Structure 1
Amino acid sequence: MDRTSLEHKARSLMSRIGAQQESLGSEVWISLTSQGRLEQEIARVGDALDSGEAMPLAGLFFAAKDNIDVAGFATTAAHPDFSHMPERSSAIVAALEQAGAIALGKTNMDQFATGLTGSRSPYGAVHSDTFPDRVSGGSSSGSAVSVAKNFVDFSLGTDTAGSGRVPAAFNHIYGFKPTCGVTVVEGVVPACESFDCVSVFAKDFATGSLVYRTLLDPKFPARGRGDEAAMAPIHRTRRLAVPREEDLASLSPIFREEFEKCLAGVQSHGYQLVPVDMTPFFESGKLLYEGALVAERYLAVGEFMEHHHEHADPSVEHIVLNAKEPPAYRYVREKDQLARRIKETLPLFSECEGLLVPTTGRHPTMSEVAAQPIAVNSELGLFTTFVNLLDMAGIAFPVASTAEGECGATLLVPALHDAEAIRIVAELADEQLPESDIEQGSVPILVFGAHRRGQALNSQLTQLQAQYLSTVSTAPHYVMGVMPGTGYPRVRLVEGEAGESITGELWNVPVNAFARFAQMVRQPLSIGPVELSDGRYVLGFLCGSVIPVEEMNISKLEDWLSYAEAAG
């Protein structure tokens, strides 16, 4: 896109916004760009394009939820007394602008990102674009509606309990919720900082996935691809987990029917559906508001709200100020409970490629929320609140417009498998990803010694574009020895009755590079099946049936790195 085209598109979008601004007031926008700022941004992007700079998002205009700093706009978090001018844009906005996107304004939201309805703002409640008598969903309400009304190409929200997914469902658009930590939260007003992330809304999958994939670029994330919290690899099983029949009891009859049609569509794409007990997920989700974890909301803005009651939303004020009460020991205990629950639910993804759930059970009216603001809000979070607590990523997508509002579904995957969610939803939506993003398949390889991170032969993996997945342990029947005379200590692993559980690293090797990697393996080593502590089998480095007498048996150390460190 050239400078002239940018100018023409900007005029068209601003004209569309202006035509509806009188009727909407501040329902969608808390602040809009000035003509001077817009011209400066168009000149910036135009100059970069003229110089040949790569700008994958050039030509795209966006909105940002008003708890995300954008230079030149005040940040209010939907509380007028909180308004301040940031010195610079948040890290994520700066990344998008560097890629060529241009901000048109800041959007309305549930105050301090506390809510899933879109009705908790002194700037006005936000209505669904397609069903004006029903809620827009929150807290990223204005951001979702700005996309649904075609004011912008995409928008930024935040998501702690479902705010990047519920508004997507209620406005018939896509919501991309990344792994916490992959999208940087520097310059974002926190809600519950441990569980906050920045999300992306788009009306079409192609635009949303382009922005999402741009933010997943290794230049931007705060949480590295080699994070120890990375989950075990998702196996291409063509199976998706879904809630059991009894776990869908909260859905209205119409939403239940539409979700069943959605599942039938998934099956038509060749996926097998595996019903799973959602109880551990639902119980985890309750901890965000009903437990001590809510204390993080007081930490974020509690002291401010203690002294600024005039413009406070009553429901938000109640939640934030009461969050001061839980004792510290409960907070620590619940953090520990979540860590254990993550380990308990993780095996699901060794059997299934993802978990498919309804985004919400129904689409409430504005009057229903006004009558029971807390109860309806809690109801809307049943299938969303547990996601960040259990360290998952997901994509919400539209299912159907019904007589009772908008119905949506969400595909969930473990942490750091965001690209898998993009791939699966693209397939279900019959969308074609760019060829450069289509993974040609990979093989998980278990390594124990010099191929591990920071060791002498690790470059043999990284040069083949292999990716570290996680640190794992074998079943407790392997013997580990060290081969002498190679210039550095090398490990050999054999099965043995008096063995131990040995620590190693799983790496994903691209299929088209696996043959080259296998050719580097020299006798007496070979590649064969190794049993992991969770019962799975993966390919790994093995050797003969015994450890020769002249070699050192280091099995009791259970980790080759312990031996290598001691050996200097």
Structure 2
Amino acid sequence: MPSLSWSLDLRALAARYRSGEATPAGVVAEVYERISRYADPAVWIHPLPMERVLEAARTLAGRDPAALPLYGVPFAVKDNLDLAGVPTTAGCPGFAYRPERTAPVIERLMAAGAIPVGKTNLDQFATGLVGTRTPYGVCRNPFDHRYLPGGSSAGSAVAVAAGLVSFALGSDTAGSGRVPAAFTNTVGLKPTRGLLSTGGLVPAVRSLDCVSIFALTCEDAEAVLSVAAGFDPDDPFSRRAPAVETPSLDCLRVGVPEADYLEFFGDRAAQGRYREALARLEALGCELLTIDFGPFAETARMLYGGPWVAERLAAVGDFLEREPESVHPVVYEIIAGGARYDAVSAYKAAYRLAGLRRLSEGQWQQMDVLAIPTTGTIYTVAEVERDPIALNANLGLYTNFVNLLDLCALAVPSGPGKAGLPTGITFVAPAWQETLLCRLGGIFHPWPGATLGATGHPVPTPEPIAARADHGIQIAVVGAHLSGQPLNHQLTELGGALVRACRTAAHYRLFALVGEKVPKPGLVRTDNGNGAAIALEVWKLPAEGFGRFVANIPPPLGIGTLLLEDGEQVKGFLCESYALAGAPEITGFGGWRAYLAANGSSAGIAHG
């Protein structure tokens, strides 16, 4: 592939923005030049018009790169996620529709400064781990076009590996966010179910589906996750992340399957790389422990050998019945097979799964992380065409159990295997332990000679955890600290970064305070039914910066706990009740900016 003069990983891109070497519009132009030179149209189903993407980039002009966590970062979207005004096909032209709203997870990324450049190819209806079940052509593996790119999120993984975007969104029900990562030398993060909203995602197995992240480094995956994650009240499968303790990386307990459960399908190179990966983990100070992989292996067989296939039929069965000729024959065979299951078999399988979960819990008492091959081998496109279902099943041996057992997983490159093709190792942990996985992956990934995808750029040494920007403390602002308002600099000068724009829950009233030198909005909570949702922005400050910021807030304002419309609670501005005497209520405007605009007021007099 063409030589790439500089990397799009987040650390390198941020450095170029800080130094002034790059602008968002310039990066977009570079991305489109790379896409043209890479010359594989099968990566994309709907590349966005360059002018539309440049328009999004221009909106960032004049903004402080440090104020947005994903400032000017180009990314790709698997074409089973909605992007307003762009067709969603799920890999099937006859199924296509044009959504009016962008998927919430993409909205969060765009609010943080990220720029989508197009919709990527996939195994139709996200049914497959191979990347060949698509009418849009098979996107080539950037290391050897004869071999699979992996699926179902093939285009997303290739776009990252080829250096066309900084990161990409996929989906992962059975391994679609991990297998393509292994085959393209990228990082694939499958978060805990419900951590990222699945609103605007064409369902495969709706109760198990996850939005996944492809990135060039584990640090990048963690950074994207920190923005993309969040409770979505409109998604019935969304879950609020609890506070969890992250185990120390010092003497981490790493589980390894018994030898009888390890299968590489005759691929000695992949087997050797897995052994080397385990040795590397020991060298990093991890304690390796052999565990009983039986409950995990049995669970994996249940995903396609049990009634969860019927969920695929529930998702798109009406379309299959209406337009069977539009569906890839292998995909049709798999989904239509869900009709053989009834309610009794579903309950029996649920009972067995509950038993397997309990057995797996016993194994988690011994380990913090499970380390397994991402796949046992890789196949050529021709091999899969001759035996599409059995070879696909082989690729899911180490992936299919993860969502059924409510775990999270991170696929990390582990070195070249047969014919110089990438191999991967996957770290698995209990729900909500994504930070642990990304930190472990970050120290594992820079093996000698490791490169970022297929770009040729070396994997950077991870920053020491203590030196990284902390997760910070979120604070909601409603007045002059909003973006573009006169006191916003007080946030940015303290290292603040915009997380998102949203609204409070419908329990608040807003007042234009009077009797002071400059007017200030005052927000108060009410539980008498007279409240409304008020527009605000959530910012994130380093702990030290948060303390300095709060110390300088003048009365009658103070910091309390605000309830947001999605159920999340954050610290934010509230007003003491004594200051409301004689203050006109402006709740009906829905926010401070709307009030200023309606009254012709100068933003310069706002405060709070």
Q: What TM-score do you get using the length of structure 1 for normalisation?
A: 0.72
Q: 1:20-56, CA deviations, whole angstroms, 9 ceiling, x for partnerless residues?
A: 33xx23x100011113321321133336x25x88310
DSSP 3-state at the match of 2:176: coil
Partner of 2:119: 106
Task: Select the residue among 331, 343, 348 that pairs with 2:346.
Answer: 331
Quick check: 2:182–2:412 contact (8 Å CA) kept in 1? yes
- Of residues 174, 178, 182 in structure 2, which corresponds to 1:165? 178
Query: Which residue is equivalent to 1:358?
Result: 373
Structure 2 equivalent of residue 20 of structure 1: 38
Q: Tell me the equivalent position of 2:168.
A: 155
**Paired residues of 2:173 and 2:208 also in contact (CA < 8 A):** yes
- 1:158 deviates by 0.2
Aligned-residue offset at 1:407: 1.1
Matching of residue 245 in structure 1 with residue 259 in structure 2: yes
Deviations 1:200-241 (A, max 9, x none): 1012333222112322467999311239xx8x9757652200
* Partners of 1:235 and 1:353 within 8 A in 2: no
Q: 2:138 aligns with which of 108, 112, 125?
A: 125
Unpaired runs of 5+ residues, structure 2, are 1-16, 447-461, 472-608
**Residue in 1 aligned with 2:24?**
6
What does residue 395 of structure 2 align with?
380
Please state if 1:135 is matched with 2:148.
yes
| Equivalent position of 2:540 in the other structure | none
SS at match of 1:347: helix
Instruction: Provide Cα deviations, 1:97-116, integer angstroms capped at 9, x if missing partner.
Output: 01110000000000000000
Instruction: Say whether 1:418 aligns with 2:449.
Output: no
Measured in 1, the distance between the counterparts of 2:371 and 2:131 equals: 24
CA distance in 1, matches of 2:25, 2:201: 29
Identity in percent: 35
> What amino acid sits opposite 1:303 in the alignment?
D
The answer as to whether partners of 2:187 and 2:221 remain within 8 angstroms in 1 is yes
Q: Distance in 1 between matches of 2:418 and 2:247?
A: 37
How far, CA to CA, are the matches of 1:218 and 1:302 in structure 2? 29
The answer for the alignment partner of 1:226 in structure 2 is: 242
Is the 1:234–1:350 contact (alpha carbons within 8 Å) kept by the matching residues of 2?
A: no
Q: Which amino acid aligns with 1:349?
A: W
Distance 2:193 2:464 in 1: 24
Q: Could you say what secondary structure the match of 2:29 adopts?
A: helix
- The one-letter code matched in structure 2 to 1:407 is T
Distance 1:219 1:120 in 2: 31
C-alpha offsets along residues 274-319 of structure 1, whole Å, 9 cap, x if unaligned?
A: 1112121111011111111111000011111111223311110111
Q: What is the Cα deviation at residue 434 of structure 1?
A: 5.2
- 3-state DSSP class of the match of 1:155? strand
Equivalent position amino acid for 2:365 in 1:
S
Quick one: which of 276, 287, 295 aligns to 1:280? 295
Question: Is 1:45 matched up with 2:60?
Answer: yes
CA distance in 1 between counterparts of 2:367 and 2:463 reads: 22
Whole-Å separation in 2 of the counterparts to 1:437 and 1:394? 22
Q: Give the CA deviation at 1:165.
A: 0.3
- In 1, distance between residues paired with 2:303 and 2:111? 35
Alignment match, 2:282: 267
* 1:238 alignment partner AA: L
Residues 68 and 90 in structure 1, CA contact (< 8 A), matched pair in contact too: yes
Task: Give distance in 1, aligned partners of 2:464 and 2:81.
Answer: 29
Secondary structure in structure 2 of the residue aligned to 1:322: helix
Do structure 1's residue 432 and structure 2's residue 432 form an aligned pair? no
Conserved? CA contact 1:138–1:167, under 8 Å: yes
Using the TM superposition, give the Cα deviation of residue 419 of structure 1 relative to its aligned residue in structure 2, in angstroms. Answer: 1.3
Q: Report which stretch shifted further, 199-208 or 38-47.
A: 38-47
What is the CA deviation profile of residues 248-285 of structure 1, one whole-angstrom value per residue up to 9, with x for unaligned ones? 13352111111101111111001111111212111101
- Asked if the contact 1:182/1:223 (under 8 Å) is kept, the reply is yes
Q: CA distance change for structure 1 residues 399 and 366 in 2, over 3 Å: closer, same or farther?
A: same
* Aligned residues of 2:172 and 2:212 also touching (Cα < 8 A): yes
2:98 pairs with 1:85: yes
- Which consecutive residues of structure 1, in runs of 5 or more, have no partner in the other structure? 441-568
Q: How many residues align?
A: 432
One-letter amino acid of the structure 2 residue matched with residue 11 of structure 1: A
Match of residue 212 from structure 2: 199
Q: Alignment partner of 2:365: what SS?
A: helix
Q: Which residue of 2 aligns with 1:175?
A: 188
Contact 1:118/1:127 (CA < 8 Å) preserved in 2? Answer: no
Partner SS, residue 45 of structure 1: coil
Distance 1:150 1:426 in 2: 19
| Residue aligned with 1:321, SS | helix
Cα deviation 1:511-561 (Å, max 9, x = unaligned): xxxxxxxxxxxxxxxxxxxxxxxxxxxxxxxxxxxxxxxxxxxxxxxxxxx
Name the CA distance, whole Å, in 1 between partners of 2:50 and 2:435.
Answer: 37
How far off its partner does 1:120 sit? Answer: 0.2
Answer yes or no: is the 8 Å Cα contact 1:296–1:323 preserved in 2.
yes
Decide which moves more: 304-313 or 370-379.
Answer: 304-313
Whether contact under 8 Å (2:182, 2:424) holds in the other structure is: yes
Q: Which residue of 2 aligns with 1:538?
A: none
* Aligned partner (choices 225, 234, 239) of residue 212 of structure 1: 225
Measure, in 2, the Cα distance between the counterparts of 1:439 and 1:348. 32
Pair 1:126–1:193, CA change in 2 (3 A): same
One-letter amino acid matched to 1:137: G
Q: Which residue number corresponds to residue 62 of structure 1?
A: 75
Could you list the per-position Cα deviations for residues 434-491 of structure 1 after superposition, in whole angstroms to 9, with x for gaps in the alignment?
A: 5476999xxxxxxxxxxxxxxxxxxxxxxxxxxxxxxxxxxxxxxxxxxxxxxxxxxx
Letter of the 1:40 counterpart: E
Q: CA deviation at 1:343?
A: 2.2
Cα RMSD (Å) of the superposition? 2.4
Matches of 2:364 and 2:470 in 1, distance apart?
19
Which of 337, 346, 351 is the equivalent residue of 2:361? 346
Residue 72 in structure 1 maps to residue 103 in structure 2: no
